[in-house]
Structure formats: structure tokens, C-alpha cells
Amino acid sequence: MDYSISKFLFTLLGLFIVLNWGMLMSSTMRRINARVSGRIGIPWYQPWIDLVKLYSMRSQLSHGTMFYLGPVFRLMGGVGLFLFMPMIYGSQYFMNYSFSGDLILILYFQFFGMLGMALGAGEGGHPYSAIGISRGLSQFTTIEVPMTLAVISLAIQYHTFSISDIVAAQQGSILNWTVFTNPLATIAAMLSLLGAFGHSPFNLVRAPNEIPLGPPTEYHGSFLGVLRTNGAILHVTEAALFMNLFFGGATSWIELIIKTFFIYFWSVFVGTVFPRFRIEQSVVWFLKWPTIIGIFSIILFM
């Protein structure tokens, strides 16, 4: 079989694994939250049932073109993040389409989906869509600040913007992991991760159980199914990004599953313990401690 075809097929296989692991991880975390609240929680297979149901439904809404393209752009952000993310270090098939300098492109893809949803919400039928757009973009922009500072610190430390090279530099011993060699950049990035995953205290844009707005209300049927699909892919790929940059990467799917679980669990744990911020509190918080720590990490390696 031609190498390019086999590469494509293995990439699809990797996407299938990531999608299903993301849905299983989502149901597991929801059950953990339910147990903390004294409830049983959903069955572990509930996300698959919801996805089949959503894709079988048709929406009767009629909005502008960008309203329908918003979920597609959001999905392309998650899929693009996966396509250029080396998932399994040392595997020629599960390195996907990563290349030298792929870290810069992946940072763009992180913001791509959010911009697509902002354009979609702008053509929604709700009069307060603009408020949600301003909240979402304001918070996500400040989330990117400490993350970008952490990436710059890693580029200075490892002299590269290649994720594969950064993972390679961490091999040989657990003490070579970035979490031990550059703890300040790791702290700044892990704090920004809390906002990237969108759990409490940084989930005001969605504000579950408080405001009847947002994508779960505005989008229905297959559109909401696309958003759920992206959520499952995005959570795993973002966790894999932090795994590659700070926790030595993964040399097998089992190692990837274990590491991404605990990285994702970090945001769920904080969301269970702390109450929700107001948007101005969230913006100030990200521009304060995580940003200061990120600046010090750069100064340390300069």
C-alpha cells in the first residue's frame, strides 16, 4: 500500500480512537462530579446515545450562513489540532502530519474554533449574542497570554518550535520532563489549561443552569452533534498537547490515555472545588498570576 494512503488511514484510526476516548472521558468526569454531589450520574455510554440521537435530528431554524458554519469551524479547530499533533512518539503512523514548527500552527488552531463560533453566534437569533461573544473572546484571549509565554519559554529552553523535538528532548528519564526542568512554564500553562477546558470557575460564557443561552440552546440536532463531536476531540487533543510539552509525551496509546486522563482530571477537580468567577474576575486572574509566572519562566531561561 502507498505510504500516503496508509498514513491517511492510520490518521483516521487515530481520530476514531481520540473521539471515542474523549466521549468516554467526558462521561467518566460527569460521573465523578455526580458522585461528589451525592448523585449516581449518567451511564458511561450516554455520550454515544446522545450523539446518535443528535445526528438523527434535523433543525428547523433558519439563520444566516455563518450561523450554520460556526459549528463546522469549531469542529475544524479540533480536527486541525489533531491532524498536526504528534500523538505517539516514535510511531511513523501516529505522528500525524506534524512538521518542524508545528507548535505555532497548533496555537492558531486553538483560537480558530472560538473565532468560528463567535461568527456563528453573531448571526444567531438571540438579542444578547454580542454579550456572549465579547465574554468568550475576552476570556479566551487572556487564556492565551500565559500559554503563549509558556511556549516562548519552551522555545528558548529547547531551541525549537517542533513538538516532536520537544518530546524527544524529554526522553530518557522522568526527570527530563519539562515539569521538572522548567516548572514555572509548566505552572503557567497548567493554569491557562483551566480556562481552555472551560470548567468552573471559568465557564461563565456557558454558565450552566443559570442562563438559558449559548450553543446548547441556539443549536439543535446535527449542529449540536457537531459541537459535541468537537468537544470530545478537542479535550483529548488539548490534553495531548500539554502531555507532549510538559509531561514527556507518550510512546503508546495506553500511556496517552493515562496521561490525558489525569491532565483533564486536573481541570475537573478545580471546577468541582471552586465556584464560578465573573468575567472581569476571570480576565484579571489570567493576566495576573499565570502571566507573571510565565514572564518569570522566560527571564529564567534567557
Contact 29, 268 (CB under 8 A): yes
Q: Give the relative orientation of helices 3-36 and 46-55 as an angle to the nearest 10 degrees.
A: 120
CA–CA dist 244, 55 (Å, integer): 33
CA–CA dist 261, 25 (Å, integer): 7
CA–CA dist 72, 112 (Å, integer): 11
CA–CA dist 301, 29 (Å, integer): 37
CA–CA dist 119, 142 (Å, integer): 19
Q: What is the pLDDT of residue 295?
A: 95
Q: Mean pLDDT by 10-residue block, N- to C-terminus, for the chain (302 residues)?
A: 82 94 91 84 90 83 76 88 92 87 87 79 73 81 91 94 94 94 95 86 69 62 85 92 95 95 90 82 90 94 81
Q: Which residues are within 8 A (CB) of 46 and not within 5 positions of it... i.e. 6 or more apart?
A: 27
In angstroms, the Cα distances linking 230 to 23, 77, 117, 191, 226 are 10, 8, 12, 22, 6
Q: Is 26 helix (H, G, I), strand (E, B) or coil?
A: helix
Grid cell in block for residue 187: 505552572
Would you list the DSSP string of 170-221? TTT-GGGSHHHH-HHHHHHHHHHHHHHHT-TTS-TTT-TTT-S-SHHHH--H
> Residue type at 10?
F
Q: What is the pLDDT of residue 117?
A: 78
Angle at 279 between CA 206 and CA 68, to 5 degrees: 35
Closest CA to 231 of 74, 11, 27, 46: 74
